[in-house]
Amino acid sequence: MIPITRPVLGGAETIAATRVIRSGWITQGPEVAAFEAEFAARVGAAHACAVANCTVALQLALIVVGVGPGDEVILPSHTYIACANAVRHCGATPVFVDVEPGGFNIDPEAIAEAITSRTRAIMCVHQIGMPCDLARILPIARAMGVPVIEDAACAIGSRIEVQGRWEEIGKPHGDIACFSFHPRKILTVGDGGMITTSNPEWDHRLRLLRQHGMSVPDTVRHASPRPIVESYPIVGYNYRLTDIQAAIGRAQLNRLDDIVASRRSLAARYRVLLRDIAVECPEEPAWARSNWQSYCVRLPRDVSAYEVMAQMLVDGVATRRGVMCIHQEAAYADAPTPHRLFFSERAREECILLPLFPRMSERMQRRVALTLDAAIAKTRRSIAMPFVVPPATQRGLAF
């Protein structure tokens, strides 16, 4: 069986976790501070704040830029549901817009059309690691005075060209960027998140919010020769990352260059192996360098993605459906969808993710290509089929 992914974890992570357990300080403390500093240095950010996962990172990002009840947040529907959940948890309304015709990222023109006097933020997603078109999104947002939150859950190690120089996603280029350390992402600590920004006041507020609104963090209190009594100026949350996770994250960060280099060469090889197969391979714009968190191919119109996936599973190759559409889920059945979402729905129906993970051999990739080719041939029909997920299998197919 060829799995969809396999996290890169080894001796360095085991040693790091053991070191923290032996130290006697296991939740947010010195390791979190060190992880934040190393992460900020890596992406070129002024500030990095670690939190429990990317969903709460997005929620806190929305809060500090001022999103609250009654506000609208523009975001793609063609993304993971956590994006809209974060908006709803702020009491705000998600306004879904379409993706670009050939790709999986938000269409900048659709953003311009959806902005109203109630728009309080734009959440753009670097979907499955492919940078979205910030060079076109940011001028639209700045002209309207709307902050941009980058969902970089999958995008650590991806780059964009800015005025002739390659820069890391997360600098951030918008106002705030949010990352995930779930095992399906590039780096993992089990579950974890990181928020980067250039704004020191927002960073300060993020740190208050993630730890109960506490004025003085326990690291400072413990290091003080005199007793410090903290105060609670605002209503906060407990969204802390633990020191055990942060230590694992530091070990993971040391592997980032190798992981991205490996993923990039695997993606390049897929492109060659799939050349004569009836699928559309993803395109990387000249100004972007993807980390290829997922390799998403578009199937021909006369097969059902579900049937191709089922056939490949029988043949020993795990796949996943492509990116979901939030507006098609029951949880968002009541969300107004005034904007066209045609290319989103089409991408959801036509695309599947192929296995891609560091240390995947050329032989495995060849087998994936052959299996995909055979599955398409075997399931081809005379009429195009919609993407239908039978309810009984929905859980097994989930993200």
**Catalytic positions, written as ranges:** 185
Q: Which is nearer to ligand PLP, 158 or 180 (CB)?
A: 180
- Residue ranges binding ligand PLP (CB under 6 A): 53-55, 79-80, 82-83, 125, 151, 153-154, 180, 182, 193
Q: Mapping DSSP to helix (H, G, I), strand (E, B) and coil, where does residue 149 land? A: strand
Q: How far is the CB of 179 from ligand PLP (least distance, A)?
A: 8
Q: Where are the beta strands (DSSP E) in the chain?
A: 47-51, 72-76, 93-97, 119-125, 148-151, 159-162, 165-168, 176-180, 193-197, 288-289, 295-298, 320-321, 351-354
**Alpha-carbon torsion, ordered 250, 132, 112, 64, to 10 deg:** 0
Q: Which is nearer to ligand PLP, 115 or 132 (CB)?
A: 132
Q: Mapping DSSP to helix (H, G, I), strand (E, B) and coil, where does residue 280 land? A: strand
Residue 152 φ then ψ, to 5°: -110, 30
Q: Which is nearer to ligand PLP, 124 or 256 (CB)?
A: 124
Q: How far is the CB of 80 from ligand PLP (least distance, A)?
A: 4
Q: Mapping DSSP to helix (H, G, I), strand (E, B) and coil, where does residue 217 land? A: coil
Encoded amino acid at 123, one letter: M
Q: How far is the CB of 58 from ligand PLP (least distance, A)?
A: 7
Q: Which is nearer to ligand PLP, 193 or 217 (CB)?
A: 193
Q: How far is the CB of 244 from ligand PLP (least distance, A)?
A: 17
Strands 148-151 and 176-180: parallel
Q: Which two tokens stand for residue 214?
A: 């506490």
Q: How far is the CB of 293 from ligand PLP (least distance, A)?
A: 8
Q: Which is nearer to ligand PLP, 174 or 372 (CB)?
A: 174
